[in-house]
Each structure stands twice: as structure tokens, then as C-alpha cells.
Amino acid sequence: MKTFTRILTNLAVISLLSISLVAQPAAPAAAPAETTSRVNEAIIPVPRTGGATNRQAQVLQRAKDNPGPCDIAFIGDSITQGWEGAGKNVWQKYYGSRKCLNFGIGGDRTQHVLWRFENGQLDGIKPKAAVLMIGTNNSNRDDNTEAEILEGVQQIVKQLRTRLPDTKVLVLGIFPRAQTFSTQRGKILQINQALANLADGQMIHYLDFGSQLIEADGSISKTKMPDYLHLSEAGYEIWAAAIEPKLKELLGAK
């Protein structure tokens, strides 16, 4: 009898456990994680603020004051603007006999150049060639990724081709910076590798002479870049000499 009672008790326990397991509701599915898409500021046109607005206004006015044909338009940031400073003698040597316009603004990023284009920078001018070097300011810290900077430069080139369809564009690799090897320099190199693919051999050309701005050990000399970013007169000589053969080709000069 005791054995029979024990069996009935065990069966009851098993039955209750089964009911408990069946009655447990399934755990709700985890809600999908919210994803926030990063906005690429490098392609959104935006004006400069503060003291830079003076140079911005000067450059826009320069375009208005020089309508019609010209030989070369240089477009970029402080390194391009520096043709009027440390590079002025080299500018006179290579470009004094040509009609060339300097559209460099210190501190500019790709988004600022795009804003300039939307606000008259290219209206009315007809350069045979445009030399573009932009993107180093976008590469600071985590401000923009390599892909974002690439897209910014791509948009600038696209705008140049749309607004100046008869102008041949020479895209320059972003110049190396920092005293020696650095993460930022590596970032720039990756961007340059992709920029090379913009060239079509007809209206868009690419040139990278960054290796001429560094030493054999990978360092940058103060004789070429006193602050490891901006060029000295010797640095501008390297720039001018490096692009002169291509410019002659684009301008149809002998």
C-alpha cells in the first residue's frame, strides 16, 4: 500500500511540473537595436564664421572681378592660400605670365568649398584648368572618416565638372603632415588611394607627389614644412615643379 501511495505521489508531482512548464509564456523577442545614421558633414555646404569670413568674401569677390577665360584656378585651404605668402616668389616664377586665380581659404574643409560653389565662386569664370587640393582639415581627429572625406572631395569634383564643363580638373593628393609617421598621415594616404580613381584621363586628372615632401626616414623637414603642415618657399617650389608638366599638357602649352 505504501508503495502504491508513493507512486501516486510521484505521478502527481510530475503532472504539476508538466503543467508548469507548458503554462510558462515564451520570453518576448528582443526589440531590434536602434541604429543612428551618421550625417556626413563633409558634403553639406556650410559657410565659414568668425574672422575667416573676410577671406571668404575676398575670394568670392575675386571671382566676380575676373569673369571670362583664365588659365588656372587654384582651389583649396590655407596651403593654397599660402601662394600669396611663403609661395609668392614661386607663384611669380611659374604663374606670373599666366592668368591664374587663387581661391584658397585658410581652415576650409570640403563643406566650405561646396558652399563657395553655391554662392558664386565659379560663376562667370572659365579656367582652362582647376587645381584642387582639399581635405586635410577634415582629417583632424575624428571629425570625418576616410570615406566621408573622400565623398566630400568627390562632390567638389562633381560640382566642378557640372559648373565648369570645359575646365580640366587636376586633383592633388592631400599633402602629408605631422613630423613623422602618424595615424593621421595614414588616414590621408588611404583617402589618396581612393582619390586616384577619380581620374578619367580626359577631364579629370590626379597627381600625388607627397613623397617629395618627406625625407628618406619618413619625417618631414622644417625646410619644406616649418610647422609640419604648411609649406615653405622650398615646399612651394616642389609643388609648382611637380605639377608643371601636367599643367602644360592640360593647357596645351609646349
For residue 28, what pLDDT band results from cuts at 50, 70 and 90?
low
- Determine the longest span between alpha carbons in the chain, in angstroms: 121
For residue 30, what pLDDT band results from cuts at 50, 70 and 90?
low
Q: Could you report the per-residue pLDDT of 67-79, keeping only the tens digit for each?
A: 999 999 999 999 9
- Tell me, what's the pLDDT at 101? 98
- Candidates 221, 226, 149, 159; CA nearest to 189 is 149
Q: What domain range is 212 assigned to? A: 74-251
Instruction: Kindly report the CATH number assigned to the domain that includes residue 153.
Output: 3.40.50.1110
Q: Residue 150: pLDDT above 60?
A: yes
Q: Is residue 47 part of a domain?
A: no
Q: Is residue 53 part of a domain?
A: no
Q: Residue 15: pLDDT above 70?
A: no
Q: Is residue 37 part of a domain?
A: no
pTM (predicted TM-score): 0.86
Q: Residue 16: pLDDT above 70?
A: no
- Tell me, what's the pLDDT at 44? 98
Mean pLDDT value of segment 12-17: 40
Structural domain count of the chain: 1
Q: Is residue 66 part of a domain?
A: no
Mean pLDDT value of segment 29-52: 84
Q: Could you report the per-residue pLDDT of 163-180, keeping only the tens digit for each?
A: 999 999 999 999 999 999
- Candidates 169, 179, 186, 189; CA nearest to 243 is 169
Residue tagged 592660400 (cell numbers)? 81
Least confident of 29-33, 44-48, 195-199: 29-33
Q: Is residue 127 part of a domain?
A: yes
- Tell me, what's the pLDDT at 179? 98
Q: Is residue 33 part of a domain?
A: no
Measured CA to CA, the distance from residue 33 to residue 171 in angstroms comes to 41
Q: Is residue 237 part of a domain?
A: yes
- Tell me, what's the pLDDT at 66? 98
Contacts of 81 (CB under 8 A, 6+ apart): 55, 102, 104, 105, 106
Q: Which of left, alpha, beta for 124 (phi over 0: left; psi -120 to 50: alpha)?
A: left
> Which active-site residues does the annotation give?
78, 227, 230
Q: Residue 34: pLDDT above 90?
A: no
Q: Is residue 41 part of a domain?
A: no
